[in-house]
A and B are shown apart, each in its own frame.
Chain A
Amino acid sequence: MIAASLLVAGVTFRRLVTLRNLALAAAGGLLAGLLALGVPSASLAHDVLNVLVATIAVLVIFPLVAGLPTSDRLGGYEGLQVVRPIRSVALAFGRVEGSLIAGLLLLLIIAHVAHGVAGLRMVPNQLVGKSEASSGSGELWRFSVPAGSQGPYRLLVNTHLPFAGAGELEVTTRRSSGEHQQQVTILPVRRHEVVIPDLAPHRGDLYVSLTPLGGVVFGVQPPALEVGERPLNLGVPAVPGGTLARLAFALLVVLAAAHAFHFETACLSGVFALAVTPPQSPALWALSFALLLAFASLGTALVRRQALP
């Protein structure tokens, strides 16, 4: 029975992971990646990409996995399966297992292609300053500038101005034995950009001393230095754990529903399941999996007796 179940899973997997479906998933990922390229803010790109990947996954994967058992039922192929000596639970387990693995594989393809494409976007390479010294009169920050990087650089400083009008900030830049001093007017905005020189031919780490004048207060975030551009690194994994868990849970709901109900109902169930917080612990996951599998088995058993339309 287990062997038959595994074989059903293998055939189901093979039926879902076809060249056409792989190409469809890759095209979905490409679309999500291209759309993410158009997001104006680089800091938003990651979040937007996750939403796009989840949306494309819902549009591509849910219909594919829900369509297999429901079309088999309508066409009569499921009838040929259920008249054979296999228990409903084994048949349902094989189909759910194969579809789940195939669905997750297609999801990973969508996510990786999307991240690969969106990762081509060039964003400013920001170095966060490391605090070297701090006193009531000012702060000293160190930036490990890459060897080949050429200035001038943009320094991003967070400030507060607790009164109307303008304050001043004294910025002293040192690199090796070179030094440059400048004064910047601080207006009541939170983030200031200060262009600081490269101090060539001096190389090595860049030390920036910031001294507030006239009541200027520093923000909580450390200053950052923009040194050229780099491709947007979206990091690994391509699908964050939370998104993956949510989609896997919804996929399981789609599969369980598809074994008992119509195609549309199964897809809608998955969409609703996305709004539910997925199980948080492995024990709850196992319980949810067992319950949904039991539901799918019950659906198969009822279909076997033509108790469902």
Chain B
Amino acid sequence: MEFGGQGGGRRFATLIDLMSLLSARKITHAYRRILGRASPTLVNVDLEVGPGECWGLVGPNGSGKSTLLRILAGVTSPLSGMASVSGAPVGSLRARTACGYAPESVHWPPGMRVQDALGELAAISSVRGVLGRVERVTELLGLADILPRRFGTLSLGQARRVVIAQALLDDPQMILLDEAFSGLDSLVMHDLLEDLHLRLAGGVGIVLATHRLEDLVGLATHVLVLQGGRVVRCGLAEDILDGLAGRDSLAGLLENHS
């Protein structure tokens, strides 16, 4: 794991890339504007995630957590900086093979059945063992009863479970979860956390974006705090989360920094 604006030679950077599952260096992003100056959403963000590490991305709304995850998933291009997954540039076929991404919100096609969506998404990755993979995530997230239903008939929490399920379909080496736990009931949460712990023990890396610190307790090994697109705190989870609990924990975290 590495963090910070430290430079390092090209050889060192390559070594770090090889050792880490995910590497992001000096990521800067701003939404394009035709006229006027675009305000940056991310400024010089570095992140290194090694095997078995779970990084919690914490910050208030608009701090750039989701944008960073989108960049790491390869669906948004940064203005500058480099990011790679398993040594391959994000967005490349190899990086996409290694990555599972659950965005914060997906408006599923209302007429589509859950089983069709999971089947299609599983098969796009690989046609081998589609049914087995769908069955595994179905069991993990308790989707058996909603598989034949159309998305238009699902509740928010049920649709949310399908978003997480599709991210875990291909047993990825790197899991990117954006506000993954909001809307989940405690039973599903328990099973999911157990599964994520098992994956971490197996050497998988996780980046979990959330604005609720309690989501990270017991799962995150490291925490990165973002505010206004800049990294304001970073380090081991036990150091940062220690002593912080309750509603105002995030505010407390940011106040401590200021």
Q: Are B91 and A85 in contact (CB under 8 A)?
A: no
Q: How far is the CA of A77 from the CA of B107 in the complex (A)?
A: 7
Known: A14-B116, A18-B111, A80-B163. 8 other contacts (CB 8 A): A7-B123, A7-B124, A71-B109, A77-B112, A77-B117, A79-B106, A82-B75, A86-B125
Tally of A interface residues using CB under 8 Å: 30
- CB-CB under 8 A for A80 and B121, given A15-B111, A15-B112, A306-B76: yes
Nearest opposing residue in chain B for A14, CB measure: B116
Which residue of A20, A75, A87, A304 contacts B107 across the interface (Cβ within 8 Å)?
A: A75
Min CB gap A3→B, angstroms: 4
Q: Are A8 and B124 in contact (CB under 8 A)?
A: yes
Of the listed stretches B13-21, B94-102, B230-238, chain A binds B94-102
Interface size class of B (residues with CB under 8 A): 20 to 34
- CB-CB under 8 A for A76 and B106, given A83-B74, A83-B75: yes
B108 contacts the other chain (CB 8 A): yes
Which residue of A72, A74, A76 contacts B103 across the interface (Cβ within 8 Å)?
A: A76
Nearest opposing residue in chain B for A75, CB measure: B107
Q: Are B106 and A83 in contact (CB under 8 A)?
A: no
A91 contacts the other chain (CB 8 A): yes
- Residues of chain B contacted by A305 (CB below 8 angstroms): 75, 77, 91
B194 contacts the other chain (CB 8 A): no
Q: List 23 A-B contacts (CB under 8 A).
A: A3-B127, A4-B123, A4-B125, A4-B126, A11-B120, A18-B111, A72-B109, A74-B107, A75-B107, A76-B106, A79-B75, A79-B106, A80-B101, A81-B121, A83-B101, A84-B124, A85-B94, A85-B96, A85-B124, A87-B93, A305-B91, A306-B76, A306-B77
Min CB gap B187→A, angstroms: 25
- CB-CB under 8 A for A75 and B93, given A7-B120, A83-B75: no
- CB-CB under 8 A for A77 and B75, given A4-B123, A85-B93: no
B173 contacts the other chain (CB 8 A): no
- CB-CB under 8 A for A85 and B97, given A15-B109, A306-B77: yes
- Residues of chain A contacted by B76 (CB below 8 angstroms): 306
B73 contacts the other chain (CB 8 A): yes
Q: How far is the CA of A175 from the CA of B248 in the complex (A)?
A: 107
Q: Are A306 and B112 in contact (CB under 8 A)?
A: no
Min CB gap A114→B, angstroms: 26
- Residues of chain A contacted by B123 (CB below 8 angstroms): 3-4, 7-8
- Residues of chain A contacted by B94 (CB below 8 angstroms): 85
Q: How far is the CA of A11 from the CA of B76 in the complex (A)?
A: 26
Min CB gap B67→A, angstroms: 11
Q: How far is the CA of A86 from the CA of B127 in the complex (A)?
A: 11
- CB-CB under 8 A for A91 and B111, given A83-B74, A85-B93: no
Q: Are B120 and A75 in contact (CB under 8 A)?
A: no
* Most chain B beta-carbon contacts within 10 A, residue among A4, A20, A71: A4
Nearest opposing residue in chain A for B162, CB measure: A80
B23 contacts the other chain (CB 8 A): no
- Residues of chain A contacted by B96 (CB below 8 angstroms): 83-85
B87 contacts the other chain (CB 8 A): no
Min CB gap B27→A, angstroms: 15
Q: Are A81 and B124 in contact (CB under 8 A)?
A: yes
B105 contacts the other chain (CB 8 A): yes
Q: Are A11 and B106 in contact (CB under 8 A)?
A: no
- Residues of chain A contacted by B117 (CB below 8 angstroms): 77
